[in-house]
Amino acid sequence: MRAGNKRPRLEEGYMATEAKTLSALNKIAHAVSVKSVASADPAKLCEIYKRYRPLIVLALALIKRIPVYGVKIAAIIEFLMQIADKVCPAVARAR
């Protein structure tokens, strides 16, 4: 500890960014459940994906910081996002 028993300051904005990321994860988890995904048609899945894609991108920064496996988990999520990015425009045009 520093003189005067003050705690060291964290990086500027770090806690705010982490709070935003955790909030994004909570929103995604609340909106997307296995039950809702299993019963949705492809157009609805694309709508859900497009709505939450920015939050997923935000969450990737936190996921990458998970020791040992975070970068690998993020790479898998990014791969799945690339698939969704390719499939969803096709579904939207087919409607």
- pLDDT tens sequence across 4-60: 544 444 454 555 667 777 787 787 777 776 566 667 788 888 888 898 898 889 889
Q: Where are the domains of the chain?
A: 14-94
- At 8, phi and psi to the nearest 5? -65, 145
What is the spatial distance between Cα 45 and Cα 40, in angstroms, rounded to a whole number? 6
Q: pTM surpassing 0.75?
A: no
pLDDT at 78 over 80: yes
What is the pLDDT, as a whole number, of residue 29?
78
Shortest CA distance to 74 belongs to which of 64, 59, 62, 88? 64
Q: Return the pLDDT at 7.
A: 44
> Cα–chain-centroid distance for residue 11?
22
How far apart are the C-alpha atoms of 25 and 78, rounded to whole Å?
15
